[in-house]
Amino acid sequence: MPRPVIGICTPLEPARWGVWSLDAFLLPRNYVDAVHRAGAMALLLAPDPALVAEPDEILDRIDGLMLAGGADIDPGSYGAAAHPLTIGSVPVRDAFEIALVRRALERDLPVLGICRGMQILNVARGGTLHQHLPEIVGHDEHRRVLGTFEGADHDVGLQPGSLAARAAGEELHATKSHHHQGVDRVGDGLVVTGRASIDELPEAIELPGNAFALGVQWHPEADETSRLIGALVEHVAGRVG
């Protein structure tokens, strides 16, 4: 039987290889490795303005959608002015991912949003973000050192019976964290089903009524013991099998 196909939205970032310095569509390998370990095929989805208008063209070709981490979302996407520490936004990526996730939710296509991807899920439903968490929570525990998960582990309490708890396989889940923004106003229809043990920040959101629509603020792709991506693939395989 063919493997299920998980489409992963791909960041647009400056990159250097050999003598070249150019913008590139880049995705950390651990996202793809996690999908492969779970028994699915990974299809990288580069931002495409044509798909903003017609997202079904690509959604028809995948069995599940994953929204990866990356740069801060353009605050204009949720009607806010930019904070001085909101940097690196790529509006073309934001528009692409928001269009895809809105339509995927309408179709009840399985969706997993990771870190920035959880924030995209929230913004796509009309929610807003805190643009610099240390000013809100009073600490830097969610992103201690730029470019590493070292020392940034913390537990997240997951609501009993929630999709988040079922996917993680437990109600108190150890996570790898690297973010300085987070959910402020929760998007329409979404419910918070996980909160950080250190400050009660929302760290898991889901859309009741959809079979699998989940956003998590942590990075399961960076933890080979995590069940989250495997849970997405298992759900998708059950739908297409």
The catalytic residue positions are 115, 219, 221
Both tokens assigned to 158: 């997951």
CB atoms within 10 A of CB 185: 12
Residue 13 pairs in a beta bridge with 24
| Residues ≥6 apart with Cβ < 8 Å to 212 | 64, 110, 111, 112, 163, 232, 235, 236
Length of the chain equals: 241
- Exposed / middle / buried, residue 95 (Cβ in 10 Å: 0-12, 13-18, 19+): middle
CB atoms within 10 A of CB 28: 14
